[in-house]
Amino acid sequence: MLLVKPTYKPGWEIPGGYLHPGETPGEGAAREVKEELGITPPISRLLVADWAPHPTEGDKLLFVFDGGILPVDERAQINPDGVEIGEYAFHAADQIDTLLIPRLARRVHAAIDARSRSATVYLEHGTTHP
């Protein structure tokens, strides 16, 4: 799993960010990966939609898309922008809980599970909701 380390806060994250006006979530995901890492992997299927309440920032609806498996030659083309992203690394799924904050770890585990089942999962604050 490709994780990024932002320059503006501690810890690891998945690539992503906010949408521009008129942009679809899939378009925003592709743009953010290109801006942050300089690569254009195929952003395909929606894996997770997660409603995330926040007392000060307001509630958000967060999406995780399938970015596929990046071929080794394309991995060499990753170039963190240095503004938002300071570094990147590939990590095994069993490292997710130690690297990510709990709500993001739950979201990523749900995405891994959804991908393995060719499914899309709806979460509320990182927890499966029927």
Comparing CA positions, the residue from 122, 7, 79, 39 lying closest to residue 30 is: 39
Which pLDDT score is estimated for 34?
A: 97
* Exposed / middle / buried, residue 58 (Cβ in 10 Å: 0-12, 13-18, 19+): exposed
On whether the 2-128 domain is CATH 3.90.79.10, my answer is: yes
The single residue listed with the structure tokens 């509630």 is 59
> What would the DSSP string read from start to end of 26-42?
HHHHHHHHHHHHS----
Comparing CA positions, the residue from 40, 59, 36, 62 lying closest to residue 49 is: 62
Comparing CA positions, the residue from 109, 105, 103, 108 lying closest to residue 124 is: 103
Does residue 130 surpass a pLDDT of 90?
no
The single residue listed with the structure tokens 């307001």 is 58
Would the pTM of this model clear 0.85, i.e. be above it? yes
Which pLDDT score is estimated for 129?
A: 78
Which secondary structure element, helix H or strand E, spans residue 79, and what is its range? none
- Cα angle 91, 37, 48 (rounded to 5 degrees) comes to 60
What number of other Cβ atoms are within 10 A of residue 128's Cβ? 12
Which secondary structure element, helix H or strand E, spans residue 90, and what is its range? strand 85-90
Query: In this predicted model, what pLDDT tens digit does every residue of 26-80 receive, in sequence order?
Result: 999 999 999 999 999 999 999 999 999 989 989 999 999 999 999 999 999 999 9
What residue ranges do the domains of the chain occupy? 2-128
Query: In this predicted model, what pLDDT tens digit does every residue of 82-122 receive, in sequence order?
Result: 999 999 999 999 999 999 999 999 999 999 999 999 999 99
